[in-house]
A = this chain, B = another copy of it.
Amino acid sequence: MKNYSIAKSRRLRSTPYTSRIENQGVTAYTVYNHMLLPAAFGSIEQSCDHLKKKVQVWDVSAERQVEISGKDSAKLVQLMTCRDLSKSKIGRCYYCPIIDNDGNLINDPVILKLSEDRWWISIADSDVIFFAKGLAIGNNFKVSITEPTVDIIAVQGPKSFDLMNKIFGEKILELKFFGFDYFDFNGVKHLIARSGWSKQGGFEIYVENTKSGQILYDYLFEAGKEFDVKAGCPNLIERIESGLLSYGNDFDNNDNPFECGFEKYVNLDSDINFLGKEKLKQIKADGIKRKLMGVKVDMEEISLTKSLDITDDKGNSIGELRSACYSPHFEKVIGIAMINQPYCKASAIGKLEINNNSFTVNICDLPFI
């Protein structure tokens, strides 16, 4: 596939670490929340292999925070998500589908409860801040809604525990999955969560003090030498193998949470108030007509730049492929597809036409690994 340059400008915001990752050999960017997100440091196959065995440091500043604080903040946050947050705890992260009045998805952030009246919504790629502002204005909520200066460094991979232990001490190993706490680095406190956009284990450092964050970024590489640390980024292969969904790629504002396998985050039985609740009850009662599924295709490479139609053997559409990559682990192409009933079951078969070649599509459950 031909490569095209990204035309940089202030509108595609740089991060505090951009000059560092460019020195470290970033080769491709994507844009995420109007910000540069590294997408490759050379081969994503090699980087995937390294991520699974060692430790990587990622500039994921593009995971922006929407801070909601004030008297009505809990009410507003709950209004936006179908997940019941009534028993949520300070110091915990919650994966929460954000839903509109039609029961469709607007984002799938991780929400951090900083205090009873202060929350961070760590967003995927859409302007949740403007949805929150619109809702707050319309409902006359007493809240403050801002995008604070928070630029996340992710430390991912099996050796991330050793590296973080070395820098922050043993206490960091006590963090439970999706727990967070504050840890000291050279006299500056950093919020660190045990989380991250891979299934290889790791941490996310929510950097508010930019200068300290830059020193920490450099120090992670110095201290990480013994663990073979490398600069990296969210890895297409690893995230598809792990079934980590991506808003805008695998689902968008035309899809509902049941179609995306988010059932366990849809709490229809409690008496909490959230948008789209009646719609979602109706959708659940009617049953969904399509669902996100895995697919495996005997191909040696693929470069997906838009949805590709999946058909039955008569050429009728049975769904669309939305993300795909070659997986060295499976030695074939794997992908995530929105598949129509009655084909959304493991063992169903479809067809894909690429450059006038026809390929058999084996539908399977998610995640792959």
Contacts and interface: CB of A to CB of B under 8 A. Distances in A.
Interface of A: 2-14, 18, 22, 26-31, 34, 39-40, 100-101, 106, 125-140, 147, 236, 246-249, 253, 275, 303-307, 322-323
A2 B323 CA distance: 29
30 contacts: A4-B8, A4-B22, A4-B26, A4-B28, A4-B29, A5-B40, A6-B28, A7-B30, A8-B303, A9-B304, A9-B323, A10-B304, A10-B322, A11-B30, A18-B305, A30-B31, A106-B130, A106-B133, A126-B127, A127-B127, A127-B130, A131-B131, A134-B135, A134-B136, A134-B137, A134-B138, A135-B135, A137-B275, A138-B138, A138-B139
B10 A323 contact: yes
Q: How many copies does the complex hold?
A: 2
A288 to B, nearest CB: 21
B27 A248 contact: no
A165 B130 CA distance: 41
A21 to B, nearest CB: 10
Contacts of A138: 134-140
Contacts of A140: 138
A301 to B, nearest CB: 14
Nearest to A31: B31
A10 B101 contact: no
A338 to B, nearest CB: 11
